Amino acid sequence: MSATPFDEMHNADGSVREPYLILEEWLKEQPPHALSLMSGDAEALFRRLGITFAVYGSNEGTEKLIPFDIIPRIVSALEWRKLSKGIEQRVRALNAFLHDIYHRQEILKAGRVPEKLILNNSAFCPEMMGLDPARGVYSHIIGVDLVRVGPEDWYVLEDNLRTPSGVSYMLENREAMLQLAPELFQRYKVAPVEGYAETLRRTMESVAPGGIHGAPNLVVLTPGIYNSAYFEHSFLADQMGAELCEGQDLFVENGKVYMRTTTGPERVDVIYRRIDDDFLDPLTFRPDSMLGVPGLFDAYRAGNVTLVNAPGTGIADDKAVYTYVPEIIEFYLGEKALLKNVPTYNCTNEEERAYVLDHLAELVVKEVHGSGGYGMMVGPTSTKAMREEFRKKILARPDNYIVQPTLALSTCPTFVDKGIAPRHVDLRPYVLVGDDIRITPGGLTRVALKKGSLVVNSSQGGGTKDTWVLED
């Protein structure tokens, strides 16, 4: 780990990297306090529009804003082409993996991925065995978490094949930037992101069940207004012109899904569900679920409705399965992985565990099923007590944790209290898979606003930036 991490804007010698030259000029032109005013405007804008998220564990009705940083993160056209190739390869392989796992399980028979890891995994969904989703697509909406440690050095942290969130921020951040700094868009050729909702619609239509007359009826299924991502659910439904439903709005009759409208039942064809597998259908999964729709899975199995994403995709983004992704790519595509995986220590292996326990202060420990920055420990910024706690946890349940080296995430100039300073960032581009694979040029850049912090999650004090992919 080098002392100074790679900076998105500056070379090691302090000169400005090519994609950021115009931005540098623009920043210099800004009168004092201009950025501070813009920052205030941005906050007012987001609050007025109600772009908020609920924080779990805080009181009902308290909605927080995710801080928005006004300095964009810029990716050159060439960098983006390389990234998208790598992402596309991964997404193709992971969908093929899901199809195989829920059919003949060739990869397990070939011994390339341990059978136990899949079949005993709580993310494996036996109900999906032998089921054929439309076009063979399991994961339609994907958000790949990437971090960068050098000019050419990108790593995939997580594949997020279940219900990745944050895409509304990608879209709203762009709207905010267009309002706040329109002159920058005159000087830069920034690839548009606003086609996302339209592409999502096309993607959903392309996986509608057969035998539908006219345009398929699409809906977004939300757990409701108290869900932390509710804003996004309503935003996407609105942008697509789809109905935003809660479980209580849908019902199943004779294996078909209907929504309750003012004029009676109306057939539903494709559901973009933002409810976890477990809660989808109390008759098939968790019986105590109040959020789902009884009988939904049967309707899905009968091919009368498409669920986007399919249940059981979690097996392919499980943190323990993650280590096998390079294998998976080779097995199904016969290609070498274009994007790197972060080397991962397996704590069930005695030798690796011993190394991990000796080096906790340098490593990152993650719970296999954790998310949102919860249940993780970043060694270099941890306290002794935390390390002791995690040592005990790992010894008690070695299979519940994965451990990785602490990556020197790249930094990007960020507007903070004391002016502009480098802060660590990651990047989540969004991928849509239906009749084709489409990657929106851009994504969500999350930024750790606390100096030195490597945790970018919004629930842990992270913010976001607009992400610009430049056109040639």
Please report, as ranges, the residues that interact with other proteins according to CB under 8 A: 47-50, 61, 224-225, 230, 234, 237-238, 243-246, 248-249, 259-264
H or E element: which one contains 26? Answer: helix 21-29
Spatial distance between the Cα atoms of 54 and 60, rounded to a whole number of angstroms? 8
Closer Cβ to other proteins, 245 or 470, answer by number = 245
Closer Cβ to other proteins, 168 or 344, answer by number = 168
Torsion of CA 191, 89, 367, 148, to 10 degrees: -50
Q: Which residues pair with 445 in a beta bridge?
A: 427, 465
- CB 242, min distance to other proteins, A: 8
Closer Cβ to other proteins, 233 or 428, answer by number = 233
Closer Cβ to other proteins, 50 or 150, answer by number = 50
In the block, which residue shows the tokens 């007012």? 44
Rg (CA), the chain: 22
- CB 364, min distance to other proteins, A: 36
Closer Cβ to other proteins, 53 or 415, answer by number = 53
- CB 230, min distance to other proteins, A: 7
Spatial distance between the Cα atoms of 70 and 464, rounded to a whole number of angstroms? 9
- CB 204, min distance to other proteins, A: 16
Closer Cβ to other proteins, 47 or 392, answer by number = 47
DSSP state of 135: G
Measured at the alpha carbon of residue 350, what is the angle toward residues 345 and 353, in degrees to the nearest 5? 40
Spatial distance between the Cα atoms of 55 and 32, rounded to a whole number of angstroms? 34
**Which residues fall within 8 angstroms of residue 56, CB to CB, at 6 or more apart?**
228, 459
Closest among 79, 83, 80 to 339, alpha carbons compared: 83
- CB 50, min distance to other proteins, A: 5
- CB 222, min distance to other proteins, A: 10
Closer Cβ to other proteins, 234 or 406, answer by number = 234
- CB 411, min distance to other proteins, A: 34
- CB 238, min distance to other proteins, A: 4
Closer Cβ to other proteins, 205 or 246, answer by number = 246
Alpha helices in 368-414 (DSSP H): 384-396
- CB 261, min distance to other proteins, A: 6
Q: Is the dihedral of CA 372, 198, 466, 24 positive or negative?
A: positive
Closer Cβ to other proteins, 133 or 295, answer by number = 295
| Contact (CB, 8 A) for 135 and 207 | yes
What count of other Cβ atoms lies within 10 Å of the Cβ of residue 419? 10
| Contact (CB, 8 A) for 405 and 363 | yes
